Amino acid sequence: MYADVILPLSLAQTYTYSVPEEYVGQLQEGQRVEVQFSKNKHYAGIIRRLHGKAPGFKTKPILSVIDVEPLLTARQLKLWDWLAEYYGCTLGEVMTAGLPSHLKMASETIITLGPLFSDEVTELSEDEYLVVEALTLQAELSLKDIRDILQRKTVYPVIRNLLDRHVVFPKEEFTDRYKALSVKCVRFGPDFQTEAQQASAFDLVSRSERQTAVLLEYVQYHRTQPYVRRTDLCKRTGASTGDLRAMVKKGIFEFYDREVSRLSTDGEAAADVKPLSAQQERALAEIRQHQADGKPTLLHGVTSSGKTRVYVELMQEAIAAGKQVLYLLPEIALTGQIIKRLQHVLGDKIMVYHSRLNDMERVEIWKAVQTGKTSVVGPRSALFLPFTTLDLVVVDEEHDPSYKQHDPNPRYNGRDVAMYLAQQHGASAILGSATPSLESWENARSGKYGLVTMTERHGGTALPEIVIANSRETNEKGIHHPFFTPTLLTALRETLERGEQAILFQNRRGFAPVYFCPTCEYTVECVNCDVSLTYHKYQHRLRCHCCGYVATPPELCPACGEPQMKLSGTGTEKIEDELKIFLPEARVARMDLDTTRGKNALGKLLDQFEVGELDILVGTQMVTKGLDFERVGLVGVISADQLLRFPDFRADERAFQLMTQVAGRAGRRGRRGQVIIQAHEGSHPVITDVVSGDYANFIEREAGNRQQHAFPPYRRMIRLQLRHTKRATAEDAARLLAKWLAHSLGDQLEGPFEPSVARLRTYYLQDMVVRFPPAATQMKRVKTLIQRCIDKLAQTKGMSGVRVVVDVDPY
Ligand SMILES: Nc1ncnc2c1ncn2[C@@H]1O[C@H](COP(=O)(O)OP(=O)(O)OP(=O)(O)O)[C@@H](O)[C@H]1O
Ligand SMILES: [Zn+2]
């Protein structure tokens, strides 16, 4: 008997091993087994198939069985198959993306003793004991070391047991594992424990209306909530922390820190949700109709129309029926308010899966999901969890480009995989956005999806007023500023005077994207990539935004020796910097990749903005995503032209989405918000549609353009990228491959050509693009052809080192 095993490698789909007599009858698909790969390398692989067909080579035996029960469900294996097939990658690459590293073990995996380990952990087997003893002496060991220590070939089952019992840990996740999050809460002080004492507290505060209100609210709120957070109490009564402190001084209250798990709300009771508005009721009824017809729904609701409340209603229902829900979000939106809102109403029934979790937390969620009782909110990686009773899949902000994984394989689109997953489970699916992607809009138009629209903002607030400021505008002295028009500055001042907040959007981080010599026009470029280095003022460094290369800015021009290097272009850092000159009093913070790298940095920033410790938030596209703040009165788009100039067939769509989304952050409650878009080309049709909020007009024109120029979704698209460290080899390979492909594809093939960044991380790049009609048979034909040609290239003399990256739906 033989087993085809998936290994975390990108060579072949599976690797065949023989099943030793002792394991026959024990093995199942989806189980992990330990196998030897090369001479010295062991892996935990996953059984994909068991069969009796001997391969044409001598097989190695399976060394040990790691799992008693399969780790992967049959559905997951099918999903993996589909991903590998559709996106043209290996199952091993899917495995690498889909399994928490805790569950992948390989010879080089390093383990250490867990910090909670004490000698009291008994019931260690003899082998386990040996490992633990070695670890107390040596701090860390690789699985290979352990094989030597135990003097046996197979150590994975031993390690698995130790991992499961948290005696040992894979090393990578040692950082901040036990840092529990805590929240400040309020409770009665020791002298106010009885009802009589509590009644007397009212006398103590009778002179202060505010404190009386706080006390009253506390008593009532505490009836429904096991814990009362300080911030909640302040919010509900309008009291300040100072008011509460005064009451602590009187001994009535005391503050305490309550630890909360980062994974769940720790059994906190779910709160009641607000009743649905008429618009939400109607949307819900329509969604149910589409569900009954077995169709996914596209929920197109303007910004702040209250789409989340609609999802929550459906999620509650599914969860109450004992089923699972998967709520997908773009990664960046995950830190914030939406999580709080979901947990507020769904309590510990929903867990948050995101990239900032450590591996142990991931495994914890994996196991919880496997029981079929836990629902999940997460980014695209949550699609790989072992759902068993999935009933509803929500894809929020479905238009968001970050659903696509660009690198490495599998280069999948989370939204599209979500649709497959939903279908696989017979779950209903909802895609939501204020600016639906053209693909989804087209699916709705063709009747494949049901369409539900919400045109009003919740609470009847008007959509913000959008005005265009000409970038060339000068002030009263005739002076022109490169990125602050007088219109924007005036509006900023007025906003702050009203006590409101502002958001400024510029899609470029750093201080200035170009550092050049005005004398000879030399531009400092990355040594690894064909891009100019971005100047970061705060660190006084030049950085490559493609590969991370860092350099000190040269004082003299490296080409001509002139000492007057200059900066050009505008990044978020520069905007933040210059704001200090125009608005010295304003409290400004920046939100981009550079300021949000730390584990909790982003959450902290958003909290500060929420409670009003900041006046202006300057940021990249991060600030456009799903933020819901009460007091944002103004949104400024620093340069619309920059968004529209992007060299991509989706540039217009992206620009429309970004501007509409960021505009939607303004005036979400109460006063109507204001949006200022700075542009040279203010009459660009995309800007006109953003200003009038005319999605229909925009999308119909966009659909027409794409149809006319044969772009997705009216054509399928596959991009091939060849990479090699020698330019000539990359070019030769590209020419060869293109010749073979063109033979069958004719003018469906474009290229080869150099992409706009022609060298990346020391590799020279050559691109080609295949566009073809969307029939499924075509897809199969093209992919088979591509694979054949790539195989042929690999066998061509001198070309074996050329890497070919296949990207299906590369957008
Ligand atoms: N039924 C309701 N009762 C009370 N408040 C509501 C209700 N529905 C929505 N809201 C409030 O309206 C605001 C906007 O809702 P929400 O954030 O869900 O909008 P959205 O459609 O997701 O917007 P965006 O696409 O801009 O993210 C939120 O502050 C939310 O709390
Ligand atoms: Zn670089």
The string of pLDDT tens digits covering residues 231-283 is: 878 877 888 888 899 999 999 999 987 755 444 444 444 566 789 999 999 99
Is 529 labelled as part of a ligand binding site? Answer: yes
Of 74-83, 139-148, 332-341, 495-504, minimum mean pLDDT range:
332-341
pLDDT at 679 over 90: yes
Query: pLDDT at position 180, please?
Result: 41
Taking a C-beta distance cutoff of 8 angstroms, is the pair 313, 432 a contact? no
Same structural domain, 522 and 504: no
Continuous H helices in 225-380: 230-237, 241-249, 278-292, 307-320, 337-346, 359-370
Dihedrals φ, ψ of 76, to 5°? -65, -40
Of 247-261, 694-708, 752-766, minimum mean pLDDT range:
247-261
Is 364 a domain residue?
Answer: no
Residue 46 belongs to domain with CATH number = 3.40.1440.60
What's the pLDDT tens digit per position in 171-218? Answer: 654 333 334 456 788 999 989 988 888 889 999 998 888 899 999 989
Is 560 labelled as part of a ligand binding site? Answer: yes
Residue with the smallest CA separation from ligand 1 atom 15 is: 306
What's the pLDDT tens digit per position in 554-600? Answer: 999 999 999 989 999 999 999 999 999 999 999 999 999 888 887 67
DSSP-assigned letter for residue 626: S
pLDDT at 707 over 80: yes
Is 417 a domain residue?
Answer: yes
pLDDT at 119 over 90: no
Over residues 497-505, mean pLDDT: 94
Q: How many CB atoms lie within 10 A of CB 598?
A: 10
Query: pLDDT at position 173, please?
Result: 43
Q: Are strands 566-568 and 514-516 parallel, antiparallel or unpaired?
A: antiparallel
Same structural domain, 450 and 345: yes
pLDDT at 322 over 60: yes
Over residues 366-376, mean pLDDT: 92
Write the DSSP assignment of 650-707 as a string of letters: THHHHHHHHHHHHHTTS--SSSPPEEEEEES-TT-HHHHHHHHT-HHHHHHHHHHHHH
Residue with the smallest CA separation from ligand 1 atom 29 is: 628
Query: pLDDT at position 156, please?
Result: 83
Q: Nearest to residue 684, comparing CAs of 648, 642, 638, 634?
A: 642
Query: pLDDT at position 152, please?
Result: 77
Is 392 a domain residue?
Answer: yes
Same structural domain, 558 and 588: no
pLDDT at 117 over 70: no
Residues within a 6 A CB radius of ligand 1: 274, 276-277, 280, 301, 303-309, 434, 458, 626, 628, 664, 668
Same structural domain, 163 and 90: no
Please give the number of the atom of ligand 1 that sits closest to the Cα of 337.
Answer: 17
Q: Which amino acid is at 802?
A: V
Same structural domain, 307 and 325: yes
What's the pLDDT tens digit per position in 424-473? Answer: 999 999 999 999 999 999 999 999 999 999 999 998 889 999 999 999 98
Taking a C-beta distance cutoff of 8 angstroms, is the pair 19, 2 a contact? yes
Supply the range of the domain harboring residue 116: 110-174
Q: Nearest to residue 45, comparing CAs of 2, 3, 76, 83?
A: 3
Residue 288 belongs to domain with CATH number = 3.40.50.300
Query: pLDDT at position 178, please?
Result: 33
pLDDT at 289 over 80: yes
Ligand nearest the Cα atom of residue 524: 2
Query: pLDDT at position 265, please?
Result: 43
Is 268 a domain residue?
Answer: no
pLDDT at 759 over 90: yes
Is 271 a domain residue?
Answer: no
Taking a C-beta distance cutoff of 8 angstroms, is the pair 436, 398 a contact? yes
Tokens standing for 505? Answer: 């959007």
pLDDT at 810 over 80: yes
Same structural domain, 627 and 689: yes
Same structural domain, 550 and 609: no
Of 705, 724, 747, the one marking the end of a domain is 705
Q: Nearest to residue 268, comparing CAs of 236, 229, 295?
A: 229
Of 376-385, 602-611, 615-624, 753-762, minimum mean pLDDT range:
602-611
Query: pLDDT at position 172, please?
Result: 54
Sequence-distant (6+) residues with CB within 8 A of 219 are 198
Same structural domain, 591 and 666: yes
Query: pLDDT at position 574, please?
Result: 95
What's the pLDDT tens digit per position in 526-538? Answer: 999 999 999 999 8
Same structural domain, 210 and 291: no
Number of domains in the chain: 7
The whole-angstrom separation of Cα 436 and Cα 88 is 27
Tokens standing for 608? Answer: 């500060």
DSSP-assigned letter for residue 10: S
Omega before 157 within 30 of 0, i.e. cis: no
Ligand nearest the Cα atom of residue 527: 2
Percent residues over pLDDT 90 in the chain:
64
Give, for 220, the enclosing helix (H) or strand (E). helix 209-224
Is 89 labelled as part of a ligand binding site? Answer: no
Query: pLDDT at position 264, please?
Result: 44
Same structural domain, 689 and 771: no
The residues placing their C-beta within 5 Å of ligand 2, an ion, are 526, 528-529, 544, 546-547, 549
Of 277, 282, 298, 304, best ligand 1 pocket probe by most atoms within 8 Å of the beta carbon: 304
Tokens standing for 410? Answer: 């599998």
Taking a C-beta distance cutoff of 8 angstroms, is the pair 374, 382 a contact? no
What's the pLDDT tens digit per position in 70-82? Answer: 999 999 999 999 9
Is 520 labelled as part of a ligand binding site? Answer: yes
Same structural domain, 621 and 759: no
Residue with the smallest CA separation from ligand 1 atom 24 is: 303
What's the pLDDT tens digit per position in 646-672? Answer: 888 999 999 999 999 999 999 988 789
Same structural domain, 394 and 446: yes
Of 705, 736, 768, the one marking the end of a domain is 705
Tokens standing for 133? Answer: 């003893």
Is 747 a domain residue?
Answer: yes
Of 124, 142, 174, the one marking the end of a domain is 174
CA angle 425/426/428 to nearest 5° reads 110
Classify burial at 585, counting beta carbons within 10 Å of its beta carbon; exposed 0-12, middle 13-18, buried 19 or more. Answer: exposed
Is 721 a domain residue?
Answer: yes
Query: pLDDT at position 118, please?
Result: 61
Name the average pLDDT for the chain.
89
